[in-house]
Each structure stands twice: as structure tokens, then as C-alpha cells.
Amino acid sequence: MTATLVDRIGLLVRNADDDGLPDELPGAAVVIEDGRIAWIGRAAGAPDADARIDADGRCVVPGFVDSHTHLVFAGDRSAEFEARMAGRPYTAGGIRTTVAATRAASDEALLARATGLVAEARRGGTTTIEIKSGYGLTVEDEARALRLAATLTPETTLLGAHVVPPEHAHDPEGYVDLVVGPMLTACAPHARWIDVFCDRGAFTVDQAERILVAGRDAGLGLRLHAAQLAPSPAVRLAVELGAASVDHCTHLEQADVDALAGGTTVATLLPGAEFSTRSPYPDARRLLDAGGTVALASDCNPGSSFTTSMSFCIALAVREMGMTPREALHAATAGGAAALRRDDVGVLRIGARADLLLLDAPSYVHLAYRPGVPLVTVL
């Protein structure tokens, strides 16, 4: 077993302070052994190691935890994006376009695309990533998406209830029967989570509840897309069911904020979607001030947010959502970990996974202060 010392860290951000060390530690060092943090502390007291990386005064932060992506897909919707930005009507787009392209694609093509995007995300600092299905919408195609996703990450999510597919357009309840029946049976072995897109034009709150309860009974953890387009009681449903995360939360009523602050469900905000759909951003400040836990994620998908960049999400959160740079970094790391109910990532302490990002900057503030600039190296 080889021990690597990451030495002369100008500022180490840990997302932890209950182990005798401060959350932000200047003049720090970390020893990595077997992919875990074996030692952490002041550089002056660092032990010997087999190899040494000199951080040269730069800032080190935990790897980003991107808890919301849709990476198993085929096709391109840049023309739809361009029309939307120009305010032009565009009828050939929408999730159904991606569903048709995904169904028609080979396993190899889907895996190559997803693998490329995971690699791109990693170059941008994402060391833990969640991937949803949701562009298959048949038993076989959803199971295939999850089987492929599971080769890339343990954080896989069945989103069979992304949208009602065209062949069930006149029988949405029949489609829900399919999701909670044969689809769930076929997909559960490849999934850790179940999710529903509960919003205007997608699934109702009652349908979402039925699907989430069935998923829970099948041993899956719960997540929910809600309140992206309009306020919805789905946010409170997620909290009541003890979902790990409710995602988007763009339109919240006070009762939603109160519920999130009082429960264990993380509010996962996805500013890339608001950027790329030219929509109003969620009010992170309100959630944080109420005591809620906030995560930031990319929502990477070809329709509404085709970015893998968590740094970009951090910059938007600071510019548009009332978060401080420190809060935004926390949300993109420990917040994402909480949204995945993980305690081994998003934090730098002894025993945690050694997912360290070396920033080409003296401080994490630069993630927002230097927007668009790639500052991250994964150690």
C-alpha cells in the first residue's frame, strides 16, 4: 500500500469540524492511502509518505458530488435550445425526441456517450455522480439504461416516470401500472434510487406517491423532481415520505420551505436548468436562512441543462441565488453527499474517500470569482 502526502495546501476546506480540526484549515496537508484519507492536519506535523504532491499554497476542496444527472441518452437538442433562446416556436423538441433517439441507439453508443460525459464531469471536478434513466420508458429500455449507468456509478436512479411515453399518451394510469409493476421489478436490481418527475405536464402528486411507495417497498431510496415549473404539494410529499432529495425547488411556498427545514430531505437546486431555459432561479437564501439543507447539481441532460460543470453551477448560485461562495461549495460537495445519503464523500476527514480537488487558486472563492475558467485538477 502506497501513502501519498499532499503537502503545502494553502487552504483546506473540509466540511467538517467535529474532529479537533477546523472546517477551513490553512497550511494543511493530507495523507492518502488506498483511496482513503489516512491523515489530515497541519503541514508542519505531516508524517512521511511514499510519494508527495506539492500543492504550492493552493486551495484543496472535496470533490464535487453531482447528485442529479441524466447521462444515458442519444441525440442532440441544440436546435431546440437555439430556438428557445431566440423565442422561436419549436415543435420537434422535448423529452420525447430524446426518448426516440435513445430507444433507437445501440448499447455501445449509449455507453460511449455516457462514459464521455462522466469523464468530462470528472475533469471538471465531479468525483461522485448520480445517473438517472428516463429516456427509455419501456421495461427493456429503462432496465438497459440502468444496467449501463451501473457500470459508471453506484448512484443509479430509476426515472421510468420521467414523462408518459407516446404509446401511453391516452392511458397515463396504465403507464404508472407498468412503472410500479414490471418496470420496477426489472430495474430494481440495477438501481439504488427511484425518482418521479412530478410537475405540470408530467406526473401528478398522487401518481408520484404511488410510484415512490412502490419503489420504497422494492428497497429503493426516494428522490423527486418537483416545483420546477410551478409550486406543488409534491415538495411536502417528498419530505413526508422521507425522500433523500427533492430536486429543482424553483417555486416554493412558505409551507414547502418550512417542511424542508423541518425534515431530512435535501433541496437540490439545479441552476443550469434555469440558465438554459431562461427561467427565474430558485431562492437558495430563503432555504438556507430557514435551516434547510441545500445541494447543487448539474441536471446534465440534452434538453434543459447540457452542462457537467459544477464550478459553473457554483458561480450561478453566487450570482443568482443568494448563496455565499462557501455555501455554494458546501452545497456542491457535502450537500450533494447528503442528497445521496453518503457520509464518505463530500467531506475531508480521516476515513473518507480521498476525493481531493486542487484549485488553481488560493481560495474556493475563486470558483465564483473566476467564472468559466477551469480551475480544478482532481488529485
CA distance 203 to 200: 7
Distance between start and end Cα atoms, the chain: 17
Q: Which of 19, 82, 167, 206 binds its own copies (CB under 8 A)?
A: 82
> Could you tell me the smallest distance in angstroms from the CB atom of residue 307 to its own copies?
5
Contact criterion met (CB below 8 Å) for 337 and 346: yes
Strands (E), the chain: 3-13, 24-33, 36-42, 51-54, 59-62, 64-66, 126-132, 155-161, 193-198, 221-226, 245-248, 266-269, 294-296, 356-359, 376-378
> Could you tell me the smallest distance in angstroms from the CB atom of residue 262 to its own copies?
26
> Could you tell me the smallest distance in angstroms from the CB atom of residue 87 to its own copies?
9
Q: Which of 4, 115, 204, 363 binds its own copies (CB under 8 A)?
A: 363
Give the C-alpha distances (Å, rounded to integers) separating 203 from 72, 199, 246: 21, 6, 15
- Which neighbouring-strand residues pair with 129? 66
CA distance 124 to 126: 6
Residue 370 in the binding site for its own copies (CB under 8 A): yes
Contact criterion met (CB below 8 Å) for 196 and 245: no
Residue 272 in the binding site for its own copies (CB under 8 A): yes
> Could you tell me the smallest distance in angstroms from the CB atom of residue 337 to its own copies?
21
Residue 275 in the binding site for its own copies (CB under 8 A): yes
| Binding window for its own copies (CB under 8 A); candidates: 38-46, 90-98, 234-242, 304-312 | 304-312
Residue 232 in the binding site for its own copies (CB under 8 A): no
- Closest to its own copies by CB, 204 vs 377, is 377
Site for its own copies, residues 123 to 152, rule: CB under 8 A: 123-124
Question: What is the binding site for its own copies (CB under 8 A)?
Answer: 76, 78-79, 81-82, 85-86, 120, 123-124, 272, 275-276, 278, 306-309, 311-313, 315, 318-319, 324-325, 362-363, 365-366, 368-374
